[in-house]
Amino acid sequence: MTKRPGSGTGRFGDGPQGAPLPLVTQAMAPLDDPGATRIDNPLARIVDPALVGVRADAAPTVFGKVTAMASPQPKLISPAGPPPEIGLTQHALPADERPDPRLVLMLDPDSERAAAFRVLRHHLLEVGRPQVIIVSSARPGDGKTTTALNLALALAECGRAKVLLAEAHMRRPQLANIFKCIPPWCFAEQLAAHRHQPMLPWSLVEIPQVWLHIAPVSPRLEKTQLLDAPAFAIAIDRLRLAGYDHIVIDAPPVLGSADVNLMADAADAVLLAVRARHSTSRDLRKAIDQIGASKVVGTVIVE
């Protein structure tokens, strides 16, 4: 495999070998066996919207060719009530440690991979500037956390927008480890508390180096905890009022649970990560069918 600048060794991925290259899908000729076909070359046209259930207007581009992403305006929610009180704990990434390899825009801001996340930012802003964006995937290991991380970093870059990155993958939280911090109040525990007392203050972590606020789940959380859908909806309803231009949700995979379905009603858009040579069109189609195509604004191909 040809190495890309800044990629390190081996295949791009969520592990120490490197981070994925995001590419937004474009239609191609029908596949002979779409149910079993593996989504392969991310530099070619990859996913046929007619086969996987993605609307043609939600399949804008391949890497290196930017085209407009036309999609219906998301249904924006106008919550009522006073803005919530936000308590921020500032956290600086350790200067003596190399950042997590998934933080592409920090590690290699001038790279092709970083530019691809900025293109993704551009496309999302063209679909009506969704405030609450869920980032998920059909299966584990498809690069959704890396996509959520770098989309949030791209949206917040140079302070261009106020962005919150929140974690909703209760069974496998990663944000605390990625940013090397322990949240003063676990986001999952805050969801439970705010369900009963919605006007309680929120406790978030501010990372000044990247102009980002994060709401991590504690890595010490019991891994069997399930998402509380009413609590999540209340939390999003309140956090919309906190002045954030964008709230990016790192969600669990779609297939195997109903978590993303429970979150989707509270969000404006769902973005699906698909890993080249790993994901199949069958899984992608099943994920879109499970969520409902009206919420999915596009897919991101990662290598």
**Residue 66 in this model has a pLDDT that exceeds 60:** no
What's the average model confidence in pLDDT over 127-131? 90
- pLDDT of residue 158 exceeding 60: yes
Tokens of 12: 């791009």
Range list of H helices, 127-280: 144-156, 175-179, 187-196, 229-239, 259-264
| Local confidence band at 276 (pLDDT 50, 70, 90 cut-offs) | confident
3-state secondary structure of 51: helix
Confirm if 131 and 245 have CB atoms less than 8 A apart: yes
* pLDDT tens string 70-93: 344 444 444 567 999 999 999 999
- 38-58 residues labelled b (16+ CB within 10 A) or e (exposed): ebeebeeebbbbebbbbbeeb
How confident is the model over 87-128, as pLDDT tens digits?
A: 999 999 998 899 999 999 999 999 999 999 999 999 998 888
- For the record, the structure tokens of 302 come out as 């990662």
Q: How far, in whole angstroms, is CA 238 from its chain's centroid? A: 20
Cα→Cα distances 91→18, 146, 213, Å: 24, 20, 10
Model confidence at 238, pLDDT cuts 50, 70, 90, reads very high
Higher pLDDT, 61 or 72: 72
275 falls in which pLDDT band (50, 70, 90)? Answer: confident
Mean of the per-residue pLDDT values of the chain = 78
- Give the model's pLDDT for residue 37: 58
Helices marked H in 61-111? 104-107
pLDDT, position 38: 61
Instruction: Look at residues 133, 122, 119, 121 and name the one whose alpha carbon lies nearest to residue 76.
Output: 133
Predicted local confidence at residue 33, as pLDDT: 40
Please, what's the b/e burial string for 160-184 (b: 16 or more CB within 10 A of its CB; e: otherwise)?
A: ebbbbbbbbbbbebbbbebbebebe
- Three-class SS state of 248: strand
The CA-atom distances, in angstroms, between 103 and each of 18, 22, 78, 297 are: 9, 13, 32, 24
User: Which tokens in the block code for residue 45?
Assistant: 């046209």
Statement: residue 256 has pLDDT above 50? yes
- 3-state DSSP percent of the chain in helix, strand and coil, to 5: 30, 15, 55
Alpha-carbon span 219 to 216, nearest angstrom: 9
The pLDDT value given to residue 120: 93
The percent of residues above 70 in pLDDT, for the chain, comes to 73
- The confidence score (pLDDT) of residue 39 equals 54
Domains and CATH numbers, the chain: 23-302 (3.40.50.300)
Measured in Å, how far apart are the chain's first and last C-alpha atoms? 11
| pLDDT over 80 (residue 45) | no
What per-residue confidence (pLDDT) applies to 69? Answer: 37
Q: What is the pTM of this model?
A: 0.78
Percent of the chain with pLDDT over 90: 57
Average confidence (pLDDT) over 46-57: 32
What local confidence, expressed as pLDDT, does residue 277 receive? 81
d(CA 155, CA 242): 17
Looking at residue 126, its pLDDT comes to 87
